[in-house]
Chains A and B, each alone.
Chain A
């Protein structure tokens, strides 16, 4: 799994590279558009992290060029521009995900993992974890065979966790998936839903969800 990181801020790039390499993703840094083109022409990558503000051009232009020339690598856009418009533009131009600065490393890792997985795995329709069984087709949840009464939002929430078992999910990643927003009010709303989920799915031994303060939640 090799990752190309197109980022001109040296410090940010170094921190990302180190973190990605800690989880066994060898990373190559390209600081400019031309360096990125050279790197991509030289060897294949499994995913690209692309910053929009580059010294010799715009990330959007680069993205468009790559997609028109048939490069199908999954691309995650990293940008200080956090407007729905930019987000939509990036995704329309063929990016696979969009993350606004300042971001949390956990979130970046989660998104990169999800990008890589999207290209290899096929989505399962039945998810199981610690006695919880989630049927995505029938839209039912059971705990040790007993059906659980979950609302639409609660179901969507548990589905995200079941898809990412054991991983830390940041608040903004979850709220973006459920409400298409990462407003701080939605983060509060998420906390409320998490409390309700915890009450509804009470496991006898270790609690199902762990709160990672300042970051998000993890299903264990």
Chain B
């Protein structure tokens, strides 16, 4: 069961039902006990009555006369009692007529009153008395008791059914009452995001568990807000504190270069200095971008737009870049759909992936781009014919500072932005509620990156379809 509310209701109903069943059973047990005690008293009273009747008249009475008197009494009370008398040897010397062919068993040792079944009569409550050498057993049939208990159970079942319905109703009411403050907390907490971290959960007047929880959460939001603020401030300050001195260095270097009378070697050093500053600026910008996107401080210029236009504009640049390094560029398919995205950022993602692909693709290799809609999502794949990636790197190639291979030349070191390009691609895709995945092409060799984000009409969480692993080799070449 998913929700705590339905679990609470079920528990409540179960507890009420178990309690009710226990109460009914206990009631039955107490009733039986009380009833048996009543029968025992009645049996004893009957014995006293027989005794007084038998002992009427002076002197000892012969056994035959005694039994005749008992028989006479038994006939009078035949509707209510069964009588049986045994002598000292345990032989039955008298049975009342209403017993038919059945016999009352002797009492179990240690008990004078017990319940048993009599063949012709049914269940009976038997009491045993001793009078001189005789053992007198008086039994009360329990026919009416059986009937009573059947009615008791029928009523019990009806009551149970009613209690079940009522407890479900009350359980749900109780659940709503109990969970209402939690739902309020949930609604507020869901509203609180990077944009309105100042909002707090309203804390009720009381001092119960829920208000404690609300206070606890509010304290947590305080801490979160503080860390967010610190990160914001860090991003802002880092930007200012790093870039202002960089500006000064850059401007001074440029001045040296433009107006100074530097020798060739000195000019070369200053040039390198300027290039270093450019690289540093790029890395700072990328790191700050990652830091800001971590705290949700990137403002996306989101627009619902056709994906085809972005892909076409990108492909114009992509084919030029590929042609430059003599790598073929193929658009396998560009099936248009509509998605909501920041076109400038998505272009950065595509450009990053392409430049990554080109770094690994040998001349005369090929880069293939596909864009299509599937399962309510827009997918783009970019694949190359390079060597692919070792399985160990594949897992965390989108982590910051992870390079697919060690940069072979210092020039290359600057170009890949310190291994931040793919990390930025991932953070941009996450900002769009999208996904990014890299895998080796099958049949290889080659590396493929697949991007996915929900189309505008439907926004289910995107999952990369399984069949994407086995995209057939491109057949149509239409740059």
B252 A80 Cβ-Cβ under 8 A: no
Distance between Cα atoms of A19 and B347 in the complex (Å):
36
A105 B351 Cβ-Cβ under 8 A: no
**Is B344 an interface residue when CB atoms closer than 8 A count as contact?**
yes
Contacts known (A101-B247, A103-B247, A181-B347); A15 close to B255, Cβ less than 8 A: yes
**Is B239 an interface residue when CB atoms closer than 8 A count as contact?**
yes
Best-buried of A179, A183, A196 by chain B (most CB within 10 Å): A183
**Is B271 an interface residue when CB atoms closer than 8 A count as contact?**
yes
Q: Which residues of A contact B348 (CB under 8 A)?
A: 181, 183, 185
A186 B351 Cβ-Cβ under 8 A: yes
**Is B274 an interface residue when CB atoms closer than 8 A count as contact?**
yes
**Is B69 an interface residue when CB atoms closer than 8 A count as contact?**
no
**Is B44 an interface residue when CB atoms closer than 8 A count as contact?**
no
Distance between Cα atoms of A185 and B239 in the complex (Å):
21
Distance between Cα atoms of A19 and B259 in the complex (Å):
11
**Extra 12 A-B pairs, beta carbons < 8 Å, given A15-B255, A85-B298, A183-B351:** A12-B244, A12-B247, A12-B251, A15-B248, A83-B292, A83-B298, A102-B243, A102-B251, A184-B278, A188-B321, A188-B355, A214-B275
Contact of B301 among A84, A106, A153, A183 (CB under 8 A): A84
Contact of B240 among A19, A53, A151, A185 (CB under 8 A): A53
11 chain-A/chain-B pairs, Cβ below 8 angstroms? A9-B244, A9-B247, A11-B248, A101-B246, A102-B247, A102-B277, A104-B251, A181-B348, A184-B278, A186-B351, A213-B271
Q: Which residues of A contact B417 (CB under 8 A)?
A: 184
Contacts known (A9-B244, A181-B347); A105 close to B251, Cβ less than 8 A: yes
Distance between Cα atoms of A183 and B13 in the complex (Å):
64
CB of A196, distance to nearest CB on chain B (Å): 7
Q: Which residues of B contact A84 (CB under 8 A)?
A: 299, 301, 344
Contact of B278 among A9, A12, A15, A214 (CB under 8 A): A214
Tally of contact residues, A, Cβ under 8 A: 40
**Is B225 an interface residue when CB atoms closer than 8 A count as contact?**
no
**Is A69 an interface residue when CB atoms closer than 8 A count as contact?**
no
Q: Mark B340-358, 1 if CB is under 8 A from A, else 0.
A: 0000100110011001000
**Is A136 an interface residue when CB atoms closer than 8 A count as contact?**
no
Q: Mark A74-111, 1 if CB is under 8 A from B, else 0.
A: 00000011111100100000000000111111100000
With both beta carbons as reference points, the residue of chain B lying nearest to A154 in the complex is identified as: B320
CB of B354, distance to nearest CB on chain A (Å): 8
**Is A71 an interface residue when CB atoms closer than 8 A count as contact?**
no
Which of B79-104 touch A at CB < 8 Å?
A: none
